[in-house]
Chain A
């Protein structure tokens, strides 16, 4: 059973087609990784998957319903987005940002209810932000910022989670911390998750399946070992690379230029 599905999607940006004939589906509890070089269209696909960009052709469905026909509020109840490099105009506090996710359920005008407050408290605790809830966002580290955005998506209580480069600009420790958190949330909450990520090793370790985008087309789709083959990596990234199990039993990638 797939929660979010794209069927023969063609997407255009400023009139130029950027994604051609893309089909993908994500099931509950599964992490699908979108990989590919910069400019391959990963962010464009995510923007389409939350229903903000109308596809030129093809269809998007959310649990069997046409995504484009749902209201923005209904979509926000089902899909939580963790955007990349979100810049805030004003230094709101962690809690103020996280609380914004509740509008999907509470609406924008009514004061937050006790239930809303409990969900916010829960989301802050799950992302280890309870202590930092009163801190303005401009006083946060990159990892704390990322966790704030994840917490906000959690308060939407979505069935689908979309993350755009959640490890960008994080050091290696925080990259692993954020992805461990995502993996744990996905498994426990049975979230259907799409993750755009450019680090191939992390993609192999944390995603159940991968879609490899190249020049707007999906040239491979499937488990990490079937997608990250030496041939595919040479075609797309122009590198000589091999995926192998390291001594910890995790996927690693050895890379050298051709």
Chain B
């Protein structure tokens, strides 16, 4: 009895220092990131501006009006992509699954393209981010409906439908852009992903939607653990597969679409964050989802910092950086671990 009361809630608490360390690292990078830009600020100056006692009056404006919303938005998007990646990898039992695996990227690209093309022609349109958001969710919904009614009724059908539908949508996007070459540059820049010019309105929008998806995924931690045993295994444990697939896809896609709306199509963050999280926090999803979220935020914050500074004052698309850094990193991980788990 004395032994068991020593560790009442058990081993989950073992990871609390690791979570604290990660959260602190994220905060440190955040403060550092706020100092980066045309007017460089030291971390102390940033903290002073944040606490309302700036060393110079202009620092307050730089931090609060120009940088804070964007940097927080980057965190929210990175976190959403990290959690969504962990959710999709769990659902598909596939370490290569990413947030766009069920058609979100193709749908977002088509939505964005349509908004630019039609805005150009009619002078009236929806913002490109909103169009991307709607496109991503619509594509996922169509893929999900096709797969669930296909008779397969399994994640295999989802994978196939997602791949086929996404390719088809990309072809339509290419066609539309060929016909409307004016739209090409704007759409292409958006597709590469980036947070230039984003501020408080985009942050509030993202904060309205992304947490719903992330919390839904976190709530599905035990179903995701059960799915690790395969669909038959999970069903034998009493899991209603249809319900689980729906909630996981809805949660992950909401989080993904929120990130897409704010920053375009940012690759690799959602793929890599769970792979970094598993060796550090274990494979159980109750810890993997929040860990992937924090690591996703950290990764995207670093990539965004690089994108802003490397060729300053020119800002590079952050999606290019996540791919440039993420690709080799992923290959190293692959080599070291011998397998993707």
Contact across chains for A75 and B283 when beta carbons are under 8 A apart: no
Query: How many Å lie between the Cα of A90 and that of B10 in the bound state?
Result: 21
User: Could you tell me which residues of chain B, from 79 to 128, have a CB within 8 Å of some CB in chain A?
Assistant: 90, 93-94
Contact across chains for B282 and A76 when beta carbons are under 8 A apart: no
Task: Give chain B's interface residues, CB within 8 Å of chain A.
Answer: 4, 10-11, 14, 90, 93-94, 219-220, 222-223, 225-230, 232-233, 235-240, 244, 278, 282-284, 341
**Contacts A76-B237, A86-B229 given; 4 further ones with Cβ under 8 A?**
A47-B232, A83-B229, A89-B227, A103-B222
Known: A72-B238, A87-B230. A92 touches B222 (CB 8 A): no
Contact across chains for B238 and A76 when beta carbons are under 8 A apart: yes
Query: Could you give, for residues 47-89 of chain A, a 1 whenever the CB lies within 8 Å of some chain B CB and a 0 otherwise?
Result: 1001010000000000000000001110111000101001111
Query: Could you give, for residues 135-164 of chain A, a 1 whenever the CB lies within 8 Å of some chain B CB and a 0 otherwise?
Result: 010100000000000001000100000000
> What A residues does B228 contact at CB under 8 A?
88-90, 92
Contact across chains for B225 and A73 when beta carbons are under 8 A apart: no
User: Contact size class for A?
Assistant: 35 or more
> What A residues does B284 contact at CB under 8 A?
92-93, 96
> What B residues does A138 contact at CB under 8 A?
341
Asked whether A91 is an interface residue with its Cβ less than 8 Å from the other chain, the reply is yes
Query: How many Å lie between the Cα of A126 and that of B113 in the bound state?
Result: 61
Query: How many Å lie between the Cα of A95 and that of B230 in the bound state?
Result: 18
Asked whether A109 is an interface residue with its Cβ less than 8 Å from the other chain, the reply is yes
Known: A90-B341, A92-B283, A93-B282. A100 touches B222 (CB 8 A): yes
> What B residues does A217 contact at CB under 8 A?
none
Question: Could you say which of A77, A88, A91, A108 contacts B229, with CB atoms under 8 Å apart?
Answer: A88
Nearest-CB distance from A147 to chain B (Å)? 16
Query: Could you give, for residues 210-254 of chain A, a 1 whenever the CB lies within 8 Å of some chain B CB and a 0 otherwise?
Result: 000000000000000000000000000000000000000000000
Contact across chains for A52 and B237 when beta carbons are under 8 A apart: no
Asked whether A121 is an interface residue with its Cβ less than 8 Å from the other chain, the reply is yes
Contact across chains for A117 and B240 when beta carbons are under 8 A apart: no
Asked whether A101 is an interface residue with its Cβ less than 8 Å from the other chain, the reply is yes
Contact across chains for B10 and A117 when beta carbons are under 8 A apart: yes
Query: How many Å lie between the Cα of A104 and that of B244 in the bound state?
Result: 15
Known: A73-B240, A77-B238, A89-B93. A52 touches B282 (CB 8 A): no
